[in-house]
Amino acid sequence: MTDIWLEVGFGGGEHLAAQARRHPEIGFIGCEPFVNGVARLLAMVERDRITNLRVFDDDARILLNRLTDASIGRVFILFSDPWPKKRHHKRRFLREETLRSLARVMRGGGALRFATDDMGYVSWTLEHVRRNPDFAWTATCPDDWRRPPPDWVETRYEAKARATERTCIYLDFQRSGRGREDPT
């Protein structure tokens, strides 16, 4: 494997399975605590004979604590539950302590990809990630967050958002240069 990519909360697994099929040279880890999502992904893995993907069927924060420093090249957090009520914000994944863990496990130059259709979650994410010195927002123009990256795979939650005409936002951040550098 030339790299390892991590998807947090893979839902039905369509994005994760498609990325694994497209990049057989990359190792993939998917984290999802809900059994229905894990079952859907495992059915795709079996059907398509995907061999470069592993599943962690629990909270991704547990896995982050066990990963070695600078071991992950890309992290995907796509259309996760925005926990819109203020009293639930503590459940949002991209918080100060989780960003510290991500910074530790991601290599220098690695990508953190976040997508949502919840504008409150966009603001929250920009505020928290931009405040962290280990990550830089890579956007240079509005199209950088209005359009998905070129290698994008639509998720079912994204399709649901589009079907109800909700705006989808795509935020890319880069891990600062500390740690093993990007081999590409």
User: Catalytic residue numbers?
Assistant: 81
Q: CA–CA separation, 158 vs 169, rounded Å?
A: 10
Give the dihedral of Cα atoms 86, 99, 134, 152; nearest 10 deg. -90
Q: CA–CA separation, 146 vs 148, rounded Å?
A: 7
Q: CA–CA separation, 138 vs 14, rounded Å?
A: 25
Strands 106-116 and 135-137: unpaired
